[in-house]
Amino acid sequence: MMKAEIISTGTEILLGNIVDTNTAFIAEQLAMLGIDLYFASTVGDNFDRLLGALKTARERSDLVLMTGGLGPTQGDITREVVACLLEEEMVVDESLKVTLEKFFAGRSIAMSANNLKQAMLIPSAQAIPNNRGTAPGWWAEKEGKIIIAMPGPPAEMQAMWQKFIAPALQNRAGGVILSRTLKTFGMPEGSVDEELSPLLKSTNPTLAIYAKPDGIHLRITAKADSEEAARQLIAEHERAVREIVDKYLWGVDDDDLAAMVAKLLIDKGLTLAVVETFTSGALIQILAHAPESDRFFKGGFYAASDEMKTSLGLVWGSGDMTKTTSAIASLVRDKVHASIGIDIEGYMEKSDDVPMAKVIIAIAGLKSGISLARNFPGRLTNMENRIAYQVLFELKKYLSES
C-alpha cells in the first residue's frame, strides 16, 4: 500500500494571510484513490527548512505531494529544493521554453528572464502540463520514491490533479476505485456518526462523513477489480445508508441544492421573492447565481432595519416573531407579484457562553405556507450560508409536497 505525505509551501500560509485549501483537497482525493495519507505539513519559503522537511518526507513516505513555490520569483524555491535533494542539476527544457513563450505571446505580454526557471527540469523529473497558468508541475521519480510538485493557486492545482496526476496515480494503485456521495440536511453530524456507526466500520466499501454548508455529505468509496464489481459494492452499502438517512436526503454526487430548487420552481411555473433581515443577503446571493435565475427569482431585499422595511412597504404590525416573519413573507410575495415569498428573521444570544443564532424562517405560497424556528450555534458570519441552505432545503420540501 502506497504511503503519501503532503507538504504545502508558502510563508503567507504560516502568517495566516491565506488559507491552505490545497491540503484538504489532496487529502480527500487520496482517500478516493485508496492511498494512505500519514503526514501533512506547511513550510515557509526557506530553502534549508523546506529541504529538511522534504528529506524527512521522502525517507518515510513513498509519495510526497508538494504545492506552491513553482512561480518565477526568487522566493519560489520548490524546484531548487527537489533538485538539491535528488542531487541533480536543473536545465532549461527547450519544449517547455517554447510553451512559455507562446503563452506570453498569446496574451501580448513580454516574458521576463525570471520566467525561464519555470521551464527547467532535472533528469528524474517529467513536466506536468498546467493548462491554467505558466508553472508546469514536476513528477520526479527516483529510487522507488515519487515527488510531485504542483502550483499553489487552487484552480491550477486542481485542474492539473484531475487531468494528469489522479489518473496516473490510479494506474499505480491498480484496480478500480469509485465513489458515491449522498447529500443530507437537518441531521446533526454527531447523530449521523452514531446512527451510521456499524456501516462506518466497513473497510470496503468505506463510508466517510463531511460537514458542508449544504448539509452532511456521506461518501461511499469502493475498490474492486472491475467497475461493475465496485458499483455493486457501493449499491449494497448505499441501500443500508439510505434506510437510516432517507428523510434527510436531498441529493447525490454533483447535485446542487440551489439548482434543484430552481428546476422545481421553473417546472412548476412559479416565481420567488425574498426578504432577509438577519443573514446579510446570503440566500439572495445563492439564488441570484442559480441556473436560469431570471426565470424564477424576482429579487430580494436585505432589510437590516425597521426603517428599511417600512420604506419598502413591508409593514407588518405587531405580534410575535413567527407571525411577523410569516406576514413579511406574504407581503414581499404580494409586493412584487411573486408566487412565493420568503422571510428570514433572527437574533443572537449566548447559551453557555456560546453564540447562538435564533432564526425564524417563513415560506408563504399563494395557498399555503410554513414557518419554523431553528438554532444555529457559532458566530453568525460562519452560519449565514448554513441558514440559507436550511431555507433552500425547506423550500425544496415545500415545492415537492405541494
The kind and range of the H/E element at 80 are helix 78-85
Q: Where are the beta strands (DSSP E) in 10-60?
A: 36-43
pLDDT along the chain (402 residues), means of 10: 93 94 93 88 97 97 97 93 97 91 85 88 96 93 97 95 93 82 85 89 90 91 90 96 93 95 96 93 95 95 82 68 89 94 90 85 91 86 89 94 82
DSSP 284: H
> Which pLDDT belongs to residue 337?
95
> Which pLDDT belongs to residue 316?
60
- What's the rounded Cα separation, in Å, for the pair 184 and 247? 9
In contact, 165 and 130? CB cutoff 8 Å: no
Q: How many CB atoms lie within 10 A of CB 197?
A: 9
- What's the rounded Cα separation, in Å, for the pair 177 and 205? 10
> Which pLDDT belongs to residue 319?
64
* SS3 of residue 74 by DSSP: coil
As a whole number of angstroms, the longest Cα–Cα distance in the chain is 78
Distances (CA, A) of 266 to 6, 35, 87, 387, 394: 45, 43, 62, 23, 17
* SS3 of residue 370 by DSSP: strand
> Which pLDDT belongs to residue 318?
59
- What's the rounded Cα separation, in Å, for the pair 250 and 74? 49
- What's the rounded Cα separation, in Å, for the pair 350 and 355? 5
Q: Model pTM?
A: 0.71
Domains of the chain: 3-173 (3.40.980.10), 176-252 (3.30.70.2860), 257-401 (3.90.950.20)
Q: Nearest 10 degrees: CA dihedral of 298, 302, 305, 307?
A: -40
State the Cα angle at 235 between 231 and 238, rounded to 5°: 135
